[in-house]
Amino acid sequence: MAGTLTLRLRGLRWEAEGVFALELEAADGGVLPRFEPGAHIDLLLPGLPPRQYSLCGDPADVARWRIGVRAVAGGRVSQLIHRALRPGALLEASLPRNNFPLLASTNYLFIAGGIGITPLLPMLRAVGPRGTLLFCAKSAADAPFLAEARATGGTVEVFASSEGQRLDIARRLATVPAETRLYCCGPERLMLAVEQAAAHWPQDRVHFEWFAARSRPEDEGSESFDLVCAQRGLTLSVAAGTSVLHALRGAGIDLPSSCEQGVCGTCECRVLEGEIDHRDSILSAAERAEGAVMMACVSRARGKRLVLDL
């Protein structure tokens, strides 16, 4: 992967049940690249697939970065981090990327579920009293970085499911000012509920960060189609069970990729002709309607032919 750097694990701290905060610094002692709220990095551990983690520290701090890692059952990367990494360990990482930027507004509503607080915390810190955080977790002890969130100057409300506290999303959305921007990150169930409740909002004011690909019906159509690489004058056949990304790799075309779930944006490519069946969790409704780009790891042709600027 282009644009990588070597980091040293400066510190490891228990943050909440099943969550560690990792403090990272440049291995050479130098200055780290700046990032904006909402940015993430890929951790590149030897022999394991890249994994994306939101930068949840202070964007102004160029001496250290911080990420939060939740232990996932069966997750090789998160389990390795929790069980084996110790301060001083060297890690390869990508440069920061941001598919979830904080855009200008007078008011902000942030909805987080568990570890989904990580991309939202720098945003809440940046907007202070103009932001309200609705934080859903099993309990306050299971809400990572809660003390920091409460110290930002924004309004923070915790909804602890173990205490019978449930967020009425539709009711809360009905009470916010019209100019509010909504940012949400958390488990799929929460994200889909917010998406449904905010369906009547202007879509350019609703923003989601997906940590994993959303579930799709098993019987969803996946027909074969022709893929034309315009710059190369090459036509490939993409089989029903094959992604565009893997078809390109099979032809010797090495398109950069990372998550391969449609959530990180690394494999974005320009589309010159053809209707796209968008299956990613990044592009906005307007970007999908424009049909200018697609994520090669998950998206496909809606017809029989797609022409890429490759």
State yes or no: pLDDT of 156 exceeds 70.
Answer: yes
Tokens of 116: 């989904």
The answer to whether residue 205 sits within a structural domain is yes
SS3 266: coil
Read off the CATH number of the domain in which 283 is found.
3.10.20.30
The answer to whether residue 102 sits within a structural domain is no
The pLDDT of residue 221:
59
Give the pLDDT confidence of 232-247 residue by residue, as tens digits. 999 999 998 899 999 9
Rounded to an integer, the average pLDDT of 40-44 is 95
204 and 119 in one domain? yes
CA distance 223 to 219: 11
Read off the CATH number of the domain in which 53 is found.
2.40.30.10
87 and 118 in one domain? no
Rounded to an integer, the average pLDDT of 273-285 is 90
- Average model confidence (pLDDT) for the chain? 93
The residue assigned the tokens 């579920």 is 113
The answer to whether residue 214 sits within a structural domain is no
The pLDDT of residue 219:
46
For residue 210, the tally of other CB atoms under 10 A from its CB is 22
CA distance 148 to 139: 16
The answer to whether residue 215 sits within a structural domain is no
Read off the CATH number of the domain in which 126 is found.
3.40.50.80
The answer to whether residue 243 sits within a structural domain is yes
Give the pLDDT confidence of 99-148 residue by residue, as tens digits. 999 999 999 999 999 999 999 999 999 999 999 999 999 999 899 999 99
CA distance 235 to 264: 27
Reported confidence tier of residue 151, pLDDT bands at 50, 70, 90: very high
The answer to whether residue 127 sits within a structural domain is yes
Structural domains of the chain, count: 3
247 lies in which domain range?
Answer: 225-308
The residue assigned the tokens 């968008």 is 278
Tokens of 19: 């969550």
Rounded to an integer, the average pLDDT of 53-64 is 97
State yes or no: pLDDT of 173 exceeds 80.
Answer: yes
Rounded to an integer, the average pLDDT of 154-173 is 95
Tokens of 288: 């999908």
Q: Identify the CA nearest to 51 among candidates 113, 93, 96.
A: 93
Rounded to an integer, the average pLDDT of 295-305 is 94
Rg (CA), the chain: 20
The pLDDT of residue 2:
58
191 and 113 in one domain? yes
Helix (H) or strand (E) holding 8: strand 4-16
Domain boundary among 94, 120, 151: 94
113 and 88 in one domain? no
Rounded to an integer, the average pLDDT of 269-278 is 95
State yes or no: pLDDT of 310 exceeds 70.
Answer: yes
The pLDDT of residue 258:
86
Domain boundary among 175, 209, 243: 209
68 and 115 in one domain? no
State yes or no: pLDDT of 67 exceeds 70.
Answer: yes
- Strand 155-160 vs strand 131-137: parallel, antiparallel, or unpaired? parallel
CA distance 299 to 141: 39
248 and 193 in one domain? no
Asked whether 77 and 48 are in contact (CB, 8 A), the reply is yes
Rounded to an integer, the average pLDDT of 75-102 is 92
Spell out the long-range contacts of 204-208 with Cβ–Cβ below 8 A and sequence spacing 24 or more. 204/284, 204/286, 205/105, 205/180, 205/181, 206/181, 206/182, 207/100, 207/103, 207/181, 207/182, 207/183, 208/183, 208/184, 208/281
Reported confidence tier of residue 26, pLDDT bands at 50, 70, 90: very high
The answer to whether residue 217 sits within a structural domain is no
Give the pLDDT confidence of 181-224 residue by residue, as tens digits. 999 999 999 999 999 999 999 999 999 999 887 777 654 557 89
Domain boundary among 176, 209, 242: 209
